Amino acid sequence: MPVHEIKCKSFINRMPDTFFAMRHLPFRYTANPYRGCSHGCVYCYAACTHYYMKSQPDAFCSDIYVKTNCTEVLDSELKRFEKLGRKSILIVGNVSDAYQPIEMKYRLTRKILSICLKHNYPLFIETKSPLILEDLDLFRELGKRELIGVGMTITSCDEAFTRLVEPRVPRKKYSDHTDSIEDMKILTLKTLSSEGIDTYLHITPYFPIITEKDLEKIVNDASKAKVTSIIMAPLELTRGIQKRLNAALQNTAYAYLISLYNSLYFEKGRRLGGRFTTSQEEHFRVEKKVAELCKKFNVKYWSFTNLQFNTYQIDQGIYKWGYPVLNSYYKLIQEKGRITLKDAVGLAKLFPVDNRYLSALKDYWRNGKLFEGIHGIKYLSQDEIMDDSKHDG
């Protein structure tokens, strides 16, 4: 596997305030010590980012770029943040898994944890790998200060299917008694939760048919692992992802999914930007089922779009350092019955937002985009909205 050592001028990236980010993402700062990911997940949405490295998406899991000086740059950036009084969640590894096997050689993620601990800076790590437990000592210290969150993704309990769509995710480092990747991830989350670390289970992507048959087990296992909350998002397909997925499924027992997904996504589904997903009705049906299971097993559920299912509050755990999302404003609407732009800005200022976010909030509010498609909410005027469930007219 080719490994390219590179230098970076800056490490922390401030994401733009896109429609999706304004509604659903409680963070804006990201940092990736590696570009490319050897896990080889066929559904990966980040493969297209290899264009920035003047490489091809197909090489995302084979050509790995290592930012060898990123920890020195990060230390300098966090010193500058301290002077500015800026502290908002840093997401580490949102493009490439920070605990892919190459981390065991370079240990950049461990150094990042140490630097954030030194600066008392909050961070969140999303990973599929049990190698995260190599740094349990640092996670324990960050957890004591409520500065760390960890998310892990589970898509299925069907090991044969998982090996097709996540072919090179490490499996046995801390769970030699099982070959199950679902068991391994649950054991990892349980270990982290037992140390007081904020943990999240992401059922992302949700594979129609495949994931649904395992939903009850996944939610029950997550509850036993004492995760903070569960997040679900359906599989989204671009033509590139569809091509990779079809290649993985053909000539297997799962080949029937090729034509089924083609119908669900490209005939009966809908387009969201450059991606295709299932219909709103199908999404609602699945999310309702997940929410009901979360209620049954007493675990919080974080809904992105069907806000009536949400039971997780964004100002809890690591996300007290985050940006407000749709659920934050929806909660205020439920409390007040009617809110104005002034109310929304006032709420946003309770979070560690910057002026770029506030400017975007005003734009999305006034053009009616922020609550677009959300049931039970409508505008009364340019600056005021209401919740139909509490008012007539």
Please report the pLDDT score of residue 175 as a whole number: 47
Q: Are residues 15 and 45 in the same domain?
A: yes
CB 313 within 8 A of CB 303: no
Angstrom distances, CA of residue 306 to CA of 158, 172, 258: 28, 37, 28
Please report the pLDDT score of residue 150 as a whole number: 97
What CATH number is given to the structural domain containing 389? 1.10.10
Q: Are residues 266 and 384 in the same domain?
A: no
Q: Are residues 287 and 361 in the same domain?
A: no
Domain that holds residue 180: 3-323
Per-residue confidence in pLDDT tens, the chain, 393 aa: 789 999 999 999 999 999 889 988 999 999 999 999 999 999 988 677 655 566 676 778 888 999 999 999 999 999 999 999 989 999 999 989 999 999 999 999 999 999 999 999 999 999 999 999 999 999 999 999 999 999 999 999 999 999 999 999 887 554 455 568 888 999 999 999 999 999 999 999 999 999 999 999 999 999 999 999 999 999 999 989 999 999 999 999 999 999 999 999 999 999 877 889 999 899 999 999 999 999 999 999 998 878 889 898 777 789 889 999 988 898 888 888 889 999 999 999 999 999 999 999 999 999 888 888 776 777 777 788 877 655 433
User: How far does Cα 356 stand from its chain's mean position?
Assistant: 22
Q: Are residues 268 and 361 in the same domain?
A: no
Q: Are residues 194 and 88 in the same domain?
A: yes
Q: Are residues 12 and 104 in the same domain?
A: yes
Cα–Cα distance, 362 to 342 (Å, whole number): 9
Q: Are residues 292 and 342 in the same domain?
A: no
- Among the three residues 323, 347, 363, which one is the final residue of a domain in this structure? 323
DSSP per-residue codes, 177-218:
T---HHHHHHHHHHHHHHTT-EEEEEEEEEPTTTTGGGHHHH
CB 198 within 8 A of CB 148: yes
Please report the pLDDT score of residue 314 as a whole number: 73
How many structural domains does the chain have?
2
- Among the three residues 295, 323, 351, which one is the final residue of a domain in this structure? 323
Q: Are residues 359 and 301 in the same domain?
A: no
Q: Are residues 355 and 266 in the same domain?
A: no
- Among the three residues 323, 349, 370, which one is the final residue of a domain in this structure? 323
